[in-house]
Amino acid sequence: AYALDISNVTVTDVTSTSARVKWNTDQVADGKVMYGISPDLGYTSRHTTYIFEHNQLLQSLSSETKYFFKIESANINGQKLIDDNNGNFYTFTTKDITPPGKVNGLNLVSRTEDSITISWQQSDAQDLSHYNIYRDRIKVTNSTTTMFTDVNLSHNTLFSYKVVAVDKSGNEGLQSDTLAVST
């Protein structure tokens, strides 16, 4: 008989409320994931099937939260092994589902026969990625600045604009008030 070994600990399929923890054992073994929002852990998810490739879905998690975890497996002889990442615990963070706030201060900077320049106030979102710019309800581009010049527009035509802040997780906030401008 030789000692049980745990390897290839990974976390996949992370959502805002769940994550899948996978690991391998070199002998058939059961499995347990002990997890929580601090190194004190507090929750357990287990399976009692003796297998080599382990796959535990953790559910009812809180969004935008860092979780700590360790793995425990025991073989059919009762040999138990705990893998806590050398005392550092494994971690993952559930996905962000909180969108940035509404973009304010959308206004006209300038206009010509065939262009319109608009600007807006900087978003206060800590995790801001960019702004989506909509013309006549259709996304035309995105920008990392608070100004946009729309070019090659039809002469004497009315256009409506809205701007939305987007965070690094892809959450789109509420659209700004509409700005209607003619070339």
CA distances from 168 to 27, 30, 144 (A): 41, 38, 12
Q: What secondary structure letter does DSSP report for 170?
A: -
Check: CB of residue 17 under 8 Å from CB of residue 94.
yes
pLDDT score at 12:
97
- Tell me what percent of the residues of the chain surpass a pLDDT of 70: 99
CB 151 within 8 A of CB 127: no
pLDDT of 1 strictly over 80: no
What mean pLDDT is reported for the chain? 96
Segment 101-121 mean pLDDT: 97
Q: Which residues contact 55 (CB under 8 A, 6 or more apart)?
A: 20, 21, 22
- Summarised one tens digit per residue, pLDDT across range 137-183 is 999 999 999 999 999 999 999 999 999 999 998 999 999 999 999 99
Dihedral sign from CA coordinates of 8, 66, 14, 75 = positive
Specify the DSSP element, H or E, that contains 37: none
Separation of alpha carbons 49 and 43, rounded Å: 20
What is the pTM assigned to this prediction? 0.70
Task: Over range 57-70, report the average pLDDT.
Answer: 96
Distance between CA atoms of 95 and 114, rounded to whole angstroms?
42
- The model's confidence at residue 51, banded by pLDDT at 50, 70 and 90, is very high
Provide the pLDDT for residue 56.
Answer: 97
Confidence band for 3, pLDDT divided at 50, 70 and 90:
confident
Mean pLDDT of 125-131: 94
